[in-house]
Structure 1
Amino acid sequence: MTYTRLPSPTQCYGIDFREVRFARAMEFTIHEINNRTDLLPGITLGYQIHDSCANVPLAIRVAFQLANGFEPVFNDTSSCSEYATATVPAVIGDSTSTQSISIARMLGLFGIPQVSHYATCACLSDKSQYPTFFRTIPSDQHQAAALARMVKHFGWTWIGAVRSDSDYGNYGMASFLKAAQVEGICVEYSESYYRTQPRSKLEHVANVIRRSTARVIIAFMSSGDIKILLQELSQQPPPPLQWIGGETWITDPDILKYNMCAAAIGFGVPQSVIPGFREFLLDLTPSKALQSPLLTEFWESSFNCYLKGRTGVLEGVQECDGTEDISMLQNPYLDTSQLRITNMVYKATYAIAHAIHGLICNGTQCDKSITFSPWQV
């Protein structure tokens, strides 16, 4: 007798308040576009927001749904043409390179354009593999070359290197090491770590850093990975190091709590201002939160209570009593002091809107009856 073991269903755990801000930035931008008279006049844009949970299987599932619809079964009474049309003309995301790669491979088959605001892997510039992938943030190819030149500028020719064991970290570090070799920079070690790997791997990387003779270290790591590494290093701090960071963590305020990174340097996406965005974020009430599973989770996670009228409440959690004040939250959702990547979401949304405008509008006149395929966008 043979047994078939099905993979366990993938679930999301926790919530990333910064990512919620990114999602709401797209929502804000679409509302702004819909209120304009010079861009897509008379046309109302809609949207769907899905959580990939920084998980490849979930990202692929969402990509399939965006390409083919959400009907669980095929209705043989409908024409095939109804199922052959993509449910969306364009997609914004993902925030990470690995999930963006998975989504791009899927959407590329259907000719659906994808615009990422934060996937920086140089590999995604390969149009033969990712023909419908675009982004509003530069490729790591440019950042790696700039970091190598900066290291050379300060005369640091003996350095250590750590990276996330992911597409972002591996491709980014490969680009940096190639550029560093051209600049005459020697690398004592190059180690990798990913947050789901065994603790023994984390301890190994930390010990390599402690025993090294290089006093300068470059980290091509995601914020989540480097925080785990810094926490491990803080248990037995190494001699003072000059940290050099990639854009994912060099502007993260949470890194400052690790004193060893107080003087870290690197390149960041320029700061920006989005008028009206903070007010939009604050304009959230319990009734509005209940209209969206994402915002329901956000509200309940922020205030540690459950909203009245919602099902599936965990035992021991109190009901929200109406005194919750969103303006008092101290989490990244309301941090509008920099708006670096958030502005990349804003730009990505506008890029798609302008592309659609070019297809169906002539000046301020738009033809709602025009049909177009996603590849035309």
Structure 2
Amino acid sequence: MPGKWLLLKAIACFGILILTQKNTGLLCFIRKIYSVFNTKYFQDGDIIIGGIFTVNRYYDGDGFRHSCYLPIPHYYRYMLTFIFAIDEINKNPNILPNVTLGYHMHDSCNDVSKAVQSVLQILSGSGDTVPNYSCRDRDKLAGVIGDHTSESSLHVFDILNIYGYTQISYGATDPLLTNKHLYPSFFQTLPSDQTQYLAIAKLLAHFGWTWIGVITSRDDSGEKRSQELKRKVAVYDICVEYIIYIAPDRNVEGQETELKNIERFNKSTSKIVVLCSISLATILFFGQACNGHHDKTLIVPAGPILHILLATKFKTSFHGSLVFSPSAKNIPNLKTFLDNISTSNHPNDLLQEHILAIYFKCLTSDPLFNLEIENSYTITLHPCNSSVKLSQLGNTLYNTEKFGTAYQVYKTVYAVAHSLHGIQLYMSRYPGNSYLRSYMGIKKVTEPLCL
């Protein structure tokens, strides 16, 4: 019971909880964040691996009455890599023989509330979201992979930790997440910000750059990152001339504040700028402030968003930048898998159809979805044949040659599979022992909760 109320408290913080009184007592349901662009992927199996990915962007303003829009093809690859890895493991007789892995994935849209909604849905099963209950015949969930960012990963952990589920993020870098006292069941594949900022400090010292500016986001994450960077560079006698904080939502910033920030940036004497927080707002600020003409060198840590924004109208502003990125690895057969993805061999995938609609103006299989896309993006859709593929977008938007973050996703799936395989071997040697993982607190219920 304490775990249940802790969960309800966590949900209530995000304003998505509804309590209703019925004959069976006090019940809780989740008010889902409406979006015709919401996507989920489910494939049943003996064991389910959950996945939370950031593919769409979050927007809540004029012109869009939904929260998820403009999916990034490059990020869609991560979902496909997740599916590819699970299918590959299922075909491998040497890993989890006689066991079929399934998956349950959601797009968090880079929004904390949507990420929390997604993990609650994964915990409940493929039907309705019922907090603190699993609506499966038996609980099959082994753990959850995701999310891409530290902020949403932190909130997902708050839910999963109640039940002791393992979480592995393929993109989180917040140093706080390495604290095993606070986050005992959280794992990450990328080095923390501390490691990245130490590398940046050594890079600055190597070139003798001792006078720098910093751009970061105006939130707790941006504040922590900028202070961590200041500590690292101070060791090498490097001084920070300014820190410009950019609100995640540029509409909140206000034109006057934005103009002051641009003026401060252009009047600064430091020629080196470190981007602490990689977001749409901070990238666009730098591009707008430089306007294609600048004498400053931008240094960018590894992180999301950047690669896709280099293809925007501000591309020339990033010429001469130094960018850290995860090392790329080869994944056999993944290139062929990604190149051949189409509506004919991957049907009923609205996320893929959404991307094809935006970039190729192709009609989707859902008439209502077509109307929503045409109204939201102010475009006219037309019929396309199955020869139109995502690979035609090219490597800038849909890279099938190099796998950096995609490799991290691939690695996390195999990490879970090998762990389960180890448990399977242990159980075969000691059949008297019950399954090592006890899913305490998740309850199987029947109607009317599970529909």
Same-fold status (TM-score > 0.5): yes
Aligned counterparts, 1:95-110, within 5 A: 95-110=148-163
Greater per-residue strand proportion: 2
Task: State the AA in 2 paired with 1:109.
Answer: I
**1:162 has 2:187 as partner:** no
Identity of aligned residues (%): 27
Contact conserved, 1:98 with 1:166, CA < 8 A, in 2? no
How far off is 1:70 after superposition? Answer: 4.6
Q: What is the CA–CA distance in structure 2 between the aligned matches of 1:375 and 1:146, rounded to whole Å?
A: 41
Superimposed CA distance per residue, residues 234-260 of structure 1 (whole angstroms, 9 cap, x where no aligned partner) = 43844x012211112797375376334
Q: What is the CA–CA distance in structure 1 between the aligned matches of 2:334 and 2:397, rounded to whole Å?
A: 11
Aligned counterparts, 1:1-377, within 5 A: 9=34, 11-72=67-128, 88-166=141-219, 168-197=221-250, 198-200=253-255, 201-235=257-291, 237-238=293-294, 240-248=295-303, 252=307, 254-255=309-310, 258-308=315-365, 311-314=368-371, 316-330=380-394, 332=396, 334-361=398-425, 371-373=435-437
How far off is 1:219 after superposition? Answer: 0.9
Superimposed CA distance per residue, residues 142-201 of structure 1 (whole angstroms, 9 cap, x where no aligned partner) = 111121122122211111111133555333222111111222111110112144132534
Contact conserved, 1:360 with 1:370, CA < 8 A, in 2? no
Task: State the AA in 2 paired with 1:39.
Answer: I
Contact conserved, 1:163 with 1:192, CA < 8 A, in 2? yes
Superimposed CA distance per residue, residues 84-130 of structure 1 (whole angstroms, 9 cap, x where no aligned partner) = 97552111111111111111111111111111111111121122332
Structure 2 vs 1, CA of residues 48 and 331 (structure 1 numbering), >3 Å: closer, same or farther? farther
Structure 2 vs 1, CA of residues 196 and 357 (structure 1 numbering), >3 Å: closer, same or farther? same
Deviation larger for 153-162 or 295-304: 295-304
Q: Which has the higher contact order (CA 8 A, sep 6+)?
A: 1
TM-score of the superposed pair, with normalisation by structure 1: 0.85
Q: How many residues align?
A: 366
Where does structure 1 lack aligned partners over 5 or more consecutive residues? Answer: 75-79
Contact conserved, 1:17 with 1:331, CA < 8 A, in 2? no
User: Alignment partner of 1:141: what SS?
Assistant: helix
TM-score of the superposed pair, with normalisation by structure 2: 0.72
How far off is 1:138 after superposition? Answer: 0.9
Q: What is the CA–CA distance in structure 2 between the aligned matches of 1:82 and 1:321, rounded to whole Å?
A: 39
Where does structure 2 lack aligned partners over 5 or more consecutive residues? Answer: 1-15, 19-30, 35-65, 375-379, 441-451
Contact conserved, 1:245 with 1:265, CA < 8 A, in 2? yes
Q: What residue number does 1:77 align with? A: none
Task: State the AA in 1 paired with 2:322.
Answer: I
Structure 2 vs 1, CA of residues 366 and 223 (structure 1 numbering), >3 Å: closer, same or farther? farther
Q: What residue number does 2:56 align with? A: none
**RMSD of Structure 2 on Structure 1 (CA):** 3.3
Contact conserved, 1:164 with 1:192, CA < 8 A, in 2? yes
How far off is 1:291 after superposition? Answer: 2.3
Superimposed CA distance per residue, residues 7-41 of structure 1 (whole angstroms, 9 cap, x where no aligned partner) = 97462111111110111111111111111122112
Deviation larger for 103-112 or 164-173: 164-173
Deviation larger for 245-254 or 272-281: 245-254
